[in-house]
């Protein structure tokens, strides 16, 4: 009978709650066709049409230290790399398959190099592992919801032995949890409903899998996609009676939950929104719909203000480079975080309603006003009283901002206003952060 230990759970997730920002990396053979990581499924592409990319894969510019340095400079505290995506191609030297990076012209164990580089930069090390596998012969083909050959009767499933596939999956996860030192986070993707049988935790022999992972990596965090996948609720952790396959965090995809995520008892849950910079995870040549850097910064703040993390994706190209637009976003994010990181790391909900000017984040007795829209004259600080405030500073410069004493405020005795100075233009048009030191326990 599985016993959930909440104190131990809280201890394990502490670094993740502190981190608030991570980098997702989707990379593999699909970078060559450059139409996203679902290319095989979307186009119902047979294996023969995909295998030439395997013979060709040679990312001459791949430099994981550069990746890790860019992540670090952007303010990321951890990274998550696709060790295997749905196409089944492995970025690590698995003994259980030939379909791996070491057998391509690349000849490198990409996971090994990535893990070393991330560690060197002091970043948390995460691995994504796809439960789906469109390469493995024992994975259901015909009639599966997602398999590239789902409509091909010639790909009938007779003779496929799903248990053999599960042995393979478990064996690979064992390799990942054994051969690469400490792994901080495992991102399984994903359970789904299938016309014939649901692909849910039990289907993957989830209990056995999670038990093994936690035995090999006692402090690891696991997402909740063995139980649920951004649909079908938040998993057994939400119920307050976590089962053996419970994830450690909720992982909403391409969405920031309206008010964060609470469990059934109303407790704030640990969550991480995974979000693309453009509209694809894997490199997509035609997709230039990038979110502006200013939006990415504000979306990070939104996640933090609702008590969650942002896992921001980069899809490197077939040579191993980040798209230039992604590099630019990372640079802008890094420049903002370098000044304003205190309002992100370890911060969470403020316990105050969302202010008109932008958002609040908070860490203990430090309240951060993320000002997107300036006021005319003094800035009202909803939810606060003058006696709550020990002092106010502009976070980026440390400059004092006093409580406004102007006569124009005098008709609003119940509202406290900050005096941001004479300039009507905010010093940082994206997010000017005002730090308010609160008198302990006053709000
Ligand atoms: C989805 C997709 C996948 C992507 C993942 C990231 O479930 O299947 O391509 O890796 O989301 O959250």
Name the residue with the closest Cα to ligand 1, atom 4: 281
Determine the distance separating the centroid of ligand 1 and the alpha carbon of 281, expressed in angstroms: 7
Q: Closest ligand 1 atom, CA of 130?
A: 10
Distance 379 CA to ligand 1 centre (A): 42
The pLDDT score that the predictor gives to residue 232 is 82
Q: What percent of the chain has pLDDT over 90?
A: 96
Residue 348 Cα to ligand 1 midpoint, Å, equals 26
If one counts every other C-beta atom within 10 angstroms of the C-beta of residue 101, the result is 27
In tens, the pLDDT along 142-155 reads: 999 999 999 999 99
| Residues 6 or more apart whose Cβ sits within 8 Å of residue 27 | 81, 82, 91, 110, 282, 283, 315, 316, 320
- Give the model confidence (pLDDT) of 97-106 as tens digits: 999 999 999 9
- Ligand 1 atom closest to 230 (CA): 7
Domain regions of the chain by residue span: 6-343, 358-438
- Judged against a pLDDT cut of 80, whether residue 383 lies above it is answered with yes
Q: DSSP E strands: which ranges in 226-329?
A: 272-275, 309-314
pLDDT, position 195: 84
Decide: pTM greater than 0.95: yes
Q: Which atom from ligand 1 is nearest to the alpha carbon of 37?
A: 9
Average pLDDT, the chain: 97
Is the distance from the beta carbon of residue 188 to the nearest atom of ligand 1 less than 6 Å?
no
Mean pLDDT across 111-121: 98
Element (H, E) at 50: helix 47-56
Q: How far is CA 244 from CA 205, 212, 227, in A?
A: 11, 11, 10
The β-bridge relationship of strands 389-394 and 432-438 is antiparallel
Q: How far is the CA of 401 from the centre of ligand 1 (A)?
A: 44
Give residue 78's pLDDT band: very low, low, confident or very high (50, 70, 90). Answer: very high
Is 189 a pocket residue for ligand 1 (Cβ < 6 Å)? yes
Q: At how many degrees (to 10) do helices 206-216 and 162-178 cross?
A: 10
Assigned fold of 6-343: TIM Barrel (3.20.20)
- Pocket test of ligand 1: the residue of 130, 189, 249 to mutate, having most ligand atoms within 8 Å of its CB, is 189
Band of pLDDT at residue 316, cut at 50, 70 and 90 = very high
Identify which of 310, 325, 275, 279 has the alpha carbon closest to the alpha carbon of residue 76: 310
Whether residue 443 has pLDDT greater than 80: no
Q: Is 190 in the pocket of ligand 1 (CB under 6 A)?
A: yes
Q: Which of 29, 86, 186, 253 to mutate to test the pocket of ligand 1 (most atoms within 8 A of CB)?
A: 253
Q: Reduced to 3 states, what is the DSSP secondary structure of residue 361?
A: strand
Q: Is the CB of 281 under 6 A from ligand 1?
A: yes
Residue 38 Cα to ligand 1 middle (Å) = 9
pLDDT at 294 over 90: yes
> Does residue 157 have a pLDDT over 90?
yes
pLDDT for residue 384 = 95
Q: What is the dihedral of CA 103, 108, 113, 115, to 10 degrees?
A: 0
Average confidence (pLDDT) over 44-73:
98
Instruction: Give me ligand 1 centre to Cα 312, in Å.
Output: 13
In this model, does residue 110 exceed pLDDT 90? yes
Average pLDDT over residues 289-309: 98
* Ligand 1 within 6 A of CB of 37: yes
CA atoms of 108 and 400, how far apart (whole Å): 53
Sign of CA pseudo-dihedral 412, 415, 421, 424: negative
Quick one: DSSP state of residue 143? Answer: T
For ligand 1, the distance from its centroid to the CA atom of residue 254, given in whole angstroms, is 10
List, in sequence order, every beta strand (DSSP E) within 202-249. 221-222
Query: Could you identify the atom of ligand 1 that is nearest to the CA of residue 251?
Result: 12
Residue 213 carries which DSSP code? Answer: H
Q: What is the CA angle 26-31-37, rounded to 5? A: 55
Report whether residue 249 contacts ligand 1, using a CB cutoff of 6 Å. no
Query: What's the CA-to-centroid distance between 189 and ligand 1, angstroms?
Result: 7
Print burial letters for 31-60: b (CB count within 10 Å at least 16), e (below 16).
bbbbbbbbbbbeeebebeebeebbeebebe
- Is the pLDDT at 135 greater than 90, yes or no? yes
Whether the pLDDT of residue 441 is over 70: the answer is: no
* DSSP-assigned letters across all residues of 167-209: HHHHHHHHHHHHSSS---EEEEE--B--SSS-B-TTTTTHHHH
The alpha carbon of 33 and the centre of ligand 1 are apart by a number of angstroms equal to: 18
Q: Is the pLDDT of residue 196 over 90?
A: no
CA distance to 232, 246, 423, per residue, from 214 (Å)? 25, 12, 55
Give the distance (Å) from ligand 1 centre to CA of residue 187.
Answer: 10
- Which atom of ligand 1 is least distant from the CA of 24? 6
Overall average pLDDT of the 181-190 stretch: 98
Q: CATH topology for 358-438?
A: Immunoglobulin-like (2.60.40)
The Cα 211–Cα 216 span in angstroms is: 9
Query: Is the CB of residue 253 below 6 angstroms from any atom belonging to ligand 1?
Result: yes
Torsion sign (Cα): 170, 166, 205, 91: positive
**Contact call for residues 375 and 357 (beta carbons, < 8 A):** yes
Mean pLDDT (whole number) for 350-360: 97
Instruction: Return the pLDDT at 231.
Output: 76
Which residue of 190, 255, 272, 314 sits with most ligand 1 atoms within 8 Å of its CB, as the best mutation to test the pocket? 190
Task: Over range 402-431, report the average pLDDT.
Answer: 96
């Amino acid at each position: 009978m599985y016993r959930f230990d909440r104190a131990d759970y809280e201890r394990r997730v502490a670094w993740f709650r502190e981190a608030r920002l991570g980098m997702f990396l989707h990379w593999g053979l699909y970078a060559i066709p450059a139409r996203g990581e679902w290319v095989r499924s979307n186009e119902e592409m047979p294996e023969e049409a995909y295998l030439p990319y395997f013979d060709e894969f040679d990312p001459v510019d791949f430099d994981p230290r550069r990746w890790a340095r860019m992540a670090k400079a952007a303010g990321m505290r951890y990274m998550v790399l696709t060790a295997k995506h749905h196409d089944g191609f492995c970025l690590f030297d698995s003994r259980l398959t030939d379909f791996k990076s070491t057998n391509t012209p690349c000849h490198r164990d990409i996971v090994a190099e990535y893990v070393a580089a991330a560690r060197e930069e002091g970043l948390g090390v995460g691995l994504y592992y796809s439960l789906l596998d469109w390469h493995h012969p024992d994975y259901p083909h015909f009639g599966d919801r997602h398999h590239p050959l789902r409509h091909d009767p010639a790909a009938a499933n007779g003779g496929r032995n799903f248990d053999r596939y599960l042995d393979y999956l478990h064996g690979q996860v064992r390799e990942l949890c054994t051969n690469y030192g400490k792994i901080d986070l495992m991102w399984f993707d994903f359970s789904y409903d299938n016309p014939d049988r649901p692909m849910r935790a039990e289907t993957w022999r989830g209990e056995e899998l999670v038990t093994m992972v936690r035995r090999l990596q006692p402090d690891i965090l696991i997402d909740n996609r063995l139980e649920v996948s951004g649909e079908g609720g938040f998993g057994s952790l939400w119920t307050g009676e976590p089962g053996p396959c419970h994830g450690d965090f909720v992982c909403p995809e391409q969405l920031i939950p309206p008010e964060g995520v609470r469990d059934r008892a109303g407790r704030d849950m640990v969550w991480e929104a995974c979000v693309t910079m453009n509209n694809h995870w894997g490199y997509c040549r035609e997709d230039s719909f990038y979110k502006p850097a200013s939006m990415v910064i504000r979306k990070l703040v939104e996640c933090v203000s609702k008590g969650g993390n942002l896992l921001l994706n980069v899809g490197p190209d077939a040579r191993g480079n980040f798209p230039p637009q992604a590099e630019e976003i990372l640079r802008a994010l890094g420049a903002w975080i370098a000044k304003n990181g205190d309002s992100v790391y370890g911060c969470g909900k403020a316990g105050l309603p969302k202010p008109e000017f932008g958002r609040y984040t908070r860490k203990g007795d430090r309240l951060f006003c993320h000002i997107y829209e300036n006021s005319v004259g003094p800035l009202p600080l909803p939810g606060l009283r003058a006696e709550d405030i020990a002092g106010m500073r502009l976070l980026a410069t440390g400059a004092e901002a006093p409580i406004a004493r102007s006569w124009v405020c005098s008709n609003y005795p119940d509202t406290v206003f900050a005096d941001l100075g004479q300039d009507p233009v905010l010093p940082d048009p994206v997010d000017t952060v005002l730090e308010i030191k609160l008198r302990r326990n006053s709000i």
